[in-house]
Amino acid sequence: MFFTNTDLVVNSGSGNVLTPIGNISGQTTLVLGQMIVGVGADTINVWINPDLVANPDPGVPTYTNSANDFADTIHRVAVVSYSNGGANGDPGGIIDAVLVADKFEDVTGILQADDATVSITVSGINDAPVAVDDSDSTTENTGITVDVLANDTDVDTDDGPANFSLDSIDSVVVSGLSIDPTLVTGTVSIVGNQIQFTPGTDFDELDDLDVATVTIDYTMSDDLGATDTGQLVITVNGLNDAPIAVDDMFGTSENTPLTVDVLANDTDVDGDDSPANFSLDSIDSIVVAGLTTGASLVAGSVVINAGQIDFDPATDFDELREGATATVTVGYTMSDDQGATSSATLTITVTGVNDQPVADAGGPYMISEGDGITLDASATTDVDLGDFLTYTWTVNGNALAPTTNSTLNLTWSQLQALGIDDGLPVPSSFVVAVQVNDDAIAMPGSDTATTSISLSNSAPATSIAGPAETVPNNPVMFQVAADDPSDMDDGSMFRYRVLSWGDGSDPTSDDDMGPMSGVTLTHAFEAFGTYDVVVEVTDKDGGSALATHTITISPVIYDPTRDVIQAGGLDGVDERIVFSAGIHQSVVVTYQG
């Protein structure tokens, strides 16, 4: 501590000694070069030792505190009275100036004055501020601004938060998180002489009731640059964050059920939340794409089972041919253990596998000898859309060439070539099968269906040939023949018999067996008239058919090819032959008999 004055010299250090320069008269002022901290614990000891001949007065100096106005500020002043050049003591309390008084004599020994006063003025020095630690709190995603200077102090009367400065952030330490003890997305900065804390997403892992702390060391200063450091501790309180449902993609084949744990890849930034405490709450939508049946499941189903999604395609996707695909998009909602929800979609790709065609050979078919047939497999089905089918028919054990047509036309001749020829009295039955193949590559499909052809016997085609006209009692020959569709029948004997000559005569005896080429039947008609001759032809299987021939019995018959008139039934000269008008040629009439 250093004092200057033209009258006194005070040495620095404790127990300062004030040495007058010459004889002091009146009042002098000492100015301190260092501020005295204005607290009661400070002590000022003053000794006045003038270089005079004086006799110190015994006793303890007397101190009187009074108030003086220094620069419009109330200061406390300690007045020290002393005599004979001696003063020593502790003024006590808080003072800004010390007034020293004494009585002394000059060198002649004459008392010069009753009182001499020395005024010592103490000028203050800057004291460092005191940074007081702070604490505050916020939630995990909420920024906060803290005025850390508001509670900092300075014993200097003129210093306060208004003229403090927040100089620097010295350190930031995070505790209570699983990440490193530093901020990643969060920030701590000085904004407007305050500390601004932005958590970012660093504290999202905190669940409800979880806490973490951010400890911030800072340096502040007063207006003269004296500094101090303080600490701000921010408590970050966790909030429940909603989980994040992540979309899922899975696949299955058209008839294979699938179970998907859609929660397995869902996440939650809260450290305590995981798929283990997630809940699958609802199926919100089901949309089908790629089927002709529409955008909804018909036989299939999507359900929640034990926190997972069960998908059963059933038969809804059977229309998919090998390798073709359709999709099922399932929207779902899930939640964490505190009910916060999120939604996502599960997309299931359904891949078609080859389905076997279901063959249908049609029938059973019923035909008669001589008929053709149309074999029809059009009722064959294949649920796989777009499959190309081939049909291979086997008729009576004979395999035919494959065809892409579902129908096959066979003539009677073709059937005969396949061994279908003879229809017995009880219809014959022949086995027909069709094998249907699809065009799948990995797993070709095939199916076979069988049916039958029932062949009934057909009556032979019967014919009778003879003259159209004759005279009475003239034996007439009739040629009767047969033609059967069955080669086996044609190769056998037919029964030929007359059912009626038309003239009432008994035809019983006119019954004969003969080949298909026929037989000759003879009959003479006695009376004039027109008669229908009816014959029946029967094949070996009992099939029969009738044939009719009409013949006229006339008295005279003119045969222009021979210019002969045949007459019959003339019983006397009174009977005459009448020629039709218009004949202009000569006729020779020969009467016989």
Give residue 120's pLDDT.
Answer: 56
Give residue 263's pLDDT.
Answer: 97
Distance CA 467, CA 554 (A): 12
Strands 47-48 and 17-20: parallel
32, 118 contact by CB (below 8 A): no
- Let me know if domain 365-456 sits in CATH 2.60.40.10: yes
Distance CA 230, CA 460 (A): 129
Q: Which of 166, 183, 273 minimizes the C-alpha distance to 234?
A: 183
Distance CA 477, CA 467 (A): 8
Indicate the length of the chain as a whole number.
Answer: 593
Distance CA 269, CA 242 (A): 8
Instruction: Give just the sign of the alpha carbon dihedral 123, 125, 126, 128.
Output: negative
For every residue of 308-361, DSSP letters joined together read EEEEE-TTTTTTPPTT-EEEEEEEEEEE-TT--EEEEEEEEEEEP-PPPPB---
DSSP 241: P
Which residues are CB-contacts of 484 (< 8 A; sequence separation ≥ 6)?
369, 458, 459, 460, 461, 490, 494, 516, 539, 543
Give residue 481's pLDDT.
Answer: 95
Burial class of 578 by CB neighbour count within 10 A (0 to 12, 13 to 18, 19+)? exposed
The two structure tokens encoding residue 56: 């110190």
SS3 567: strand
Distance CA 88, CA 60 (A): 7
pLDDT, one tens digit for every residue, the chain (593 residues)? 333 344 444 444 444 444 444 444 343 444 333 333 333 333 344 434 333 333 444 444 444 444 443 333 333 444 444 444 444 444 444 444 444 444 444 445 554 444 444 455 557 789 999 999 999 999 999 999 999 999 999 998 888 899 999 999 999 999 999 877 899 999 999 999 999 999 999 999 998 889 999 999 999 999 999 999 999 999 999 999 999 999 999 999 999 999 999 999 999 988 788 899 999 999 999 999 999 999 999 999 999 999 999 999 999 999 999 999 999 999 999 999 999 999 999 999 999 999 999 999 999 999 999 999 999 999 999 999 999 999 999 999 999 999 999 999 999 999 999 999 887 777 889 999 999 999 999 899 999 999 999 999 999 999 999 999 999 999 999 999 999 999 888 889 999 999 999 999 999 888 889 998 999 999 999 999 999 999 999 999 899 999 999 999 998 655 555 544 555 544 443 444 444 434 444 444 554 44
Distance CA 390, CA 434 (A): 10
CATH topology of domain 248-351: Immunoglobulin-like (2.60.40)
Give residue 398's pLDDT.
Answer: 96
Give residue 67's pLDDT.
Answer: 42
CATH topology of domain 134-237: Immunoglobulin-like (2.60.40)
Distance CA 518, CA 190 (A): 131
Give residue 121's pLDDT.
Answer: 59
Distance CA 219, CA 407 (A): 100
Which residues are CB-contacts of 99 (< 8 A; sequence separation ≥ 6)?
77, 78, 79, 80, 117, 118, 119, 120
Q: Count Cβ atoms below 10 Å from residue 504 Cβ, excluding itself.
A: 9
Enumerate the β-bridge partners of residue 188: 197
Give residue 423's pLDDT.
Answer: 75
CATH 2.60.40.10 spans which residues of the chain? 365-456, 461-553
Distance CA 437, CA 354 (A): 11
Distance CA 42, CA 91 (A): 10
Q: Which of 76, 79, 93, 1 minimizes the C-alpha distance to 39?
A: 93
Give residue 271's pLDDT.
Answer: 79
The two structure tokens encoding residue 104: 């002394």
Give residue 456's pLDDT.
Answer: 92
Strands 529-538 and 544-553: antiparallel
Q: Which CATH code, of 3.40.50.970, 3.50.50.60, 2.60.40.10, 3.20.20.70, is assigned to 461-553?
A: 2.60.40.10
